[in-house]
């Protein structure tokens, strides 16, 4: 589904990503773990076409998307829910969702209605709030809008950059359930997460990124069984510095 | 009384010209954050385009006007390609394109002066020099024409920004470039279109103004200042702000000229004075943006 090979790049001259490679199978959910500053969000920017400078190959269903601008990547079926939600705050929920559908293939009235129905089914609260300004919503509701907005383009691959960050446990649970429902539709997902416990219950396979490199790839069961889980990042970071 | 009403109407018409230049700033400023002082000289180039189309080629007004406005769209598009895109895509700070556009302003002005010389060139009145008198109401055809066209342009601009998906995506780019890109909004196309539309609006303003004043190669700078002042008075948050700001500025100018005993040349200081006052006292303009706390 998604094939990332030897991707390098960064926001200015210095590389943040050092030859990152990973694969995601159709319908698979992969967790991308790593400490703060590991380059996870930079990788998300590279995949979604918003990174200033990048090299290497990114293929989506076999098609090379590595040199496409971001708007064409969206229309190819890859959508990113960025860290920090990035609401269009003065716009209503409905307008935020409508903008999410700007690259919907064949945006007929029926198709739009179908997308709305889908995301409101996932997050019934948003249906009640559709004419409210996005900036007035709670953090959890904004995160729901951010996810729903990305889903409006009917993606085949969804990237989620720390969707649970700073949310109350009850809301985390609610969003977790929605993502489970999404997974059962066969949508491939890449979940970026700092907290191991959340990520490992959600994805079957995980990659750990440290200092711009994928340093470990394992099944969630394997990772969860390690007794050094608490200090894993620390150990891996030290190994990466030495190596 | 009739005299005062006529003064108010002609001041409103003048204000409409400023408002259109303010709108020209605004359509570029909204999605890109760039203040484009070349708007006045887009107007200059368009005014001489109008001279060629309407005076030299003697095309009928609607055709000549359409021709100039479409050509101006191309000029705006080209301006963006030459002076803005190469800088923005190399990650230059926002001041860089603003300075590059000041350079374009000089190029436009000097190109016009080389091509047409320093003499003013006349442009015919679309409806002749007639006047409407109706009770106390008295105004020239040209004033009515300017007010009518400007009103419809602002209704159109308001509708575009508030009610269409394309307009919303303009705003979205202004609010959050990254999120807009992630939605699939084509940032390049929005930027190109903003500059094209900005130049077309400036061209329209110049075509409405020059039948009264003639085209002159130095006409750009004062218009750029008046348009900018109108924008500052009205505030950049709302489309109507440009219209309100333009009309207030023109009324201030006209009433000062009529009732304050100063030399006529000093009236040119009125916009600058208002600009300073507003930047000091109310930098957000009269109309606050929606969703922003006042």
A92-146 pLDDT tens trace = 999 999 999 999 888 788 999 999 999 999 999 999 999 999 999 999 999 999 9
Q: Does A75 touch chain B (CB under 8 A)?
A: yes
Beta carbons of A89 and B291 less than 8 Å apart: yes
Q: Which residue has the tokens 């705006």?
A: B76
Span B147-205, pLDDT tens digits:
999 999 999 999 998 889 999 999 899 889 899 999 999 999 999 999 999 999 999 99
B105 near B37, Cβ under 8 Å?
yes
Beta carbons of B291 and A102 less than 8 Å apart: no
Q: What global pTM score does this model have?
A: 0.87
Most B CBs within 10 Å, among A14, A90, A155, to test the B interface: A90
B123 near B49, Cβ under 8 Å?
no
Of A88, A98, A133, the CB nearest to B179: A88
Q: Could you give the CA distance from residue B202 to residue B25 in angstroms, rounded to a whole number?
A: 9
Q: Does A53 touch chain B (CB under 8 A)?
A: no
Q: Does B171 touch chain A (CB under 8 A)?
A: yes
Beta carbons of B181 and A91 less than 8 Å apart: no
Q: Does A77 touch chain B (CB under 8 A)?
A: no
A135 interaction partners in chain B (CB closer than 8 Å): 291
State the smallest CA–CA distance between residue B98 and chain A in angstroms.
Answer: 22
Q: What is the reported pLDDT for A122? A: 95
In the structure encoding, which two tokens stand for residue B140, read together?
């020239």
Of B91, B183, B185, the CB nearest to A52: B91
Q: What is the reported pLDDT for B289? A: 61
- Selected residue with higher pLDDT from B135 and A128: A128
Q: What is the reported pLDDT for B89? A: 80
State the smallest CA–CA distance between residue B90 and chain A in angstroms.
Answer: 9
What residue ranges define each of the domains in chain B, with the CATH number in brackets? Answer: 2-281 (1.10.3470)
Task: Please give the ipTM for the structure prediction.
Answer: 0.90
The per-residue b/e assignment along A97-131, b for 16 or more CB within 10 angstroms, e otherwise, is bbbbbbbbeebeeeebeebbeebbebbeebeebee
Q: What is the reported pLDDT for B291? A: 47
Beta carbons of A12 and B292 less than 8 Å apart: no
Q: Single out the residue of A199, A132, A107 nearest to residue A160, CA to CA.
A: A199
State the smallest CA–CA distance between residue A103 and chain B in angstroms.
Answer: 6
Q: What is the reported pLDDT for B190? A: 94
Q: What is the CA radius of gyration of chain B?
A: 19
Q: Which residue of A has its CA nearest to B291?
A: A90
Q: Could you give the CA distance from residue B215 to residue B17 in angstroms, rounded to a whole number?
A: 15
Q: What is the reported pLDDT for B288? A: 64
Partner B, chain A 23-52, Cβ-Cβ below 8 Å: 48-50, 52
A220 near A232, Cβ under 8 Å?
no
| Concatenated DSSP letters of chain B | -HHHHHHHHHHHHHHHHHHHHHHHHHHHHHHH----TTHHHHHHHHHHHHIIIIIIS---HHHHHHHHHHHHHHHHHHHIIIIIHHHHTTT--THHHHHHHHHHHHHHHHHHHHHH-SS-B----TTTT-EEEETTEEEEHHHHHHHHHHHHHHHHHHHHHHH-HHHHHHHHHHH-HHHHHHHT--HHHHHHHHHHHHHHHHHHHHHHHHHHH-B-TT-HHHHHHHHHHHHHHH-SSSHHHHHHHHHHHHHHHHHHHHHS-S-GGGGGHHHHHHHHHHHHH-TT-SSPPTTS--
Q: What is the reported pLDDT for B290? A: 54
Residue spans of chain A under pLDDT 70: 242-243
pLDDT at B211 over 50: yes
Could you tell me the residue ranges of all domains in chain A? 2-87+156-242
Beta carbons of B184 and A90 less than 8 Å apart: no
Q: Single out the residue of B212, B205, B258, B267 nearest to residue B72, CA to CA.
A: B205
Q: What is the reported pLDDT for B266? A: 84
In the structure encoding, which two tokens stand for residue B17, read together?
């010209």
Most B CBs within 10 Å, among A70, A76, A103, to test the B interface: A70
pLDDT at B3 over 50: yes
CATH topology of domain A2-87+156-242: Rossmann fold (3.40.50)
Beta carbons of A71 and B292 less than 8 Å apart: no
Most A CBs within 10 Å, among B170, B176, B184, to test the A interface: B184
State the smallest CA–CA distance between residue B172 and chain A in angstroms.
Answer: 7
Name the pairing type of β-strands A2-10 and A17-24: antiparallel
Phi, psi of A209 (to 5 degrees): -115, 130
Q: What percent of chain B has pLDDT over 70?
A: 98
B184 interaction partners in chain A (CB closer than 8 Å): 70-71, 74-75, 102-103, 153
Partner A, chain B 88-127, Cβ-Cβ below 8 Å: 91
The 3-state secondary structure of chain A, one letter per residue: CEEEEEEEEECCCCCCEEEEEEEECCCCEEEEECCCCCCHHHHHHHHHCCCCEEEEEEEECCEECCCCCHHHHHHHCEEEECCCCCCCCCCEHHHHHHHHCCCCCCCCHHHHHHHHHHHHHHCHHHHHCCCCEHHHCCHHHHHHHHHHHHHCCCCCEEEEECCCCCCCHHHHHHHHHHHHHHHHCCCEEEEEECCHHHHHHHCCEEEEEECCEEEEEEEHHHHHHCCCHHHHHHHHHHHHHHC
pLDDT at B65 over 90: yes
Which pLDDT band, with edges at 50, 70 and 90, does B55 fall under? very high
Q: What is the reported pLDDT for B293? A: 36
User: How high does pLDDT run on average in chain B?
Assistant: 91
Q: What is the reported pLDDT for B103? A: 96
- Selected residue with higher pLDDT from B144 and B3: B144
């Amino acid at each position: 589904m998604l094939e990332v090979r030897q991707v390098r790049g960064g926001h200015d001259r210095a590389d943040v990503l050092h030859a990152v490679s990973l694969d995601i199978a159709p319908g698979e959910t992969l967790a991308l773990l790593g400490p703060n500053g590991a380059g996870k969000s930079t990788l998300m920017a590279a995949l979604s076409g918003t990174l200033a400078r990048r090299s290497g190959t990114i293929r989506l269903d076999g098609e090379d998307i590595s040199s496409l601008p971001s708007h064409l990547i969206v229309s190819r079926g890859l959508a990113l829910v960025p860290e920090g939600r990035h609401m269009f705050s003065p716009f209503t929920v409905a307008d935020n969702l409508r903008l999410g559908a700007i690259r919907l293939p064949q945006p007929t009235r029926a198709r739009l209605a179908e997308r709305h129905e889908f995301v409101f089914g996932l997050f019934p609260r948003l249906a009640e709030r559709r004419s409210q300004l996005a900036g007035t919503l709670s953090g959890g509701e904004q995160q729901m809008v951010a996810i729903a907005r990305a889903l409006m383009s009917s993606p085949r691959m969804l990237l989620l950059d720390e969707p649970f960050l700073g949310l109350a446990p009850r809301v985390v649970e609610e969003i977790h359930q929605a993502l489970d429902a999404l997974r059962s539709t066969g949508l491939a997902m890449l979940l970026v997460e700092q907290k191991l416990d959340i990520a490992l219950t959600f994805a079957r396979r995980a990659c750990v990124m440290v200092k711009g490199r994928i340093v470990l790839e394992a099944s969630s069961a394997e990772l969860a069984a390690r007794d050094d889980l608490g200090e894993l990042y620390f150990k891996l970071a030290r190994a990466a510095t030495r190596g | 009384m009739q005299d005062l009403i006529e003064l108010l109407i002609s001041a409103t018409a003048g204000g409409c010209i400023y408002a259109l230049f303010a709108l020209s700033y605004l359509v570029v400023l909204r999605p890109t954050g760039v203040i484009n002082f070349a708007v006045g000289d887009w107007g200059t180039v368009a005014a001489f385009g109008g001279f060629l189309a309407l005076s030299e080629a003697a095309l009928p007004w609607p055709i000549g006007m359409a021709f100039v406005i479409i050509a101006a769209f191309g000029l705006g598009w080209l301006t963006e390609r030459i002076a803005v895109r190469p800088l923005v895509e190399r990650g230059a700070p926002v001041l860089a394109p603003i300075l590059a556009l000041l350079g374009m302003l000089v190029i436009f002005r000097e190109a016009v002066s080389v091509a047409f010389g320093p003499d003013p060139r006349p442009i015919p009145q679309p409806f002749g020099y007639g006047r409407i008198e109706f009770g106390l109401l008295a105004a020239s055809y040209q004033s009515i024409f300017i007010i009518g066209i400007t009103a419809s342009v602002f209704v159109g601009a308001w509708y575009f920004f508030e009610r269409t998906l394309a307009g919303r995506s303009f705003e979205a780019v202004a609010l959050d470039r990254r999120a807009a890109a992630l939605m699939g909004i084509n940032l390049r196309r929005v930027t190109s279109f903003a500059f094209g539309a900005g130049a077309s609006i400036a061209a329209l303003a110049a075509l409405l103004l020059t039948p009264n004043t003639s085209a002159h190669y130095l006409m750009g700078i004062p218009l750029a200042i008046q348009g900018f002042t109108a924008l500052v008075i009205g505030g950049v948050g709302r489309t109507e702000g440009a219209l309100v700001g333009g009309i207030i500025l023109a009324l201030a100018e006209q009433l000062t000229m009529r009732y304050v005993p100063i030399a006529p040349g000093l009236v040119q200081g009125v916009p600058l004075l208002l600009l300073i006052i507003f930047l000091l006292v109310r930098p957000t303009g009269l109309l606050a943006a929606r969703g922003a706390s006042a």
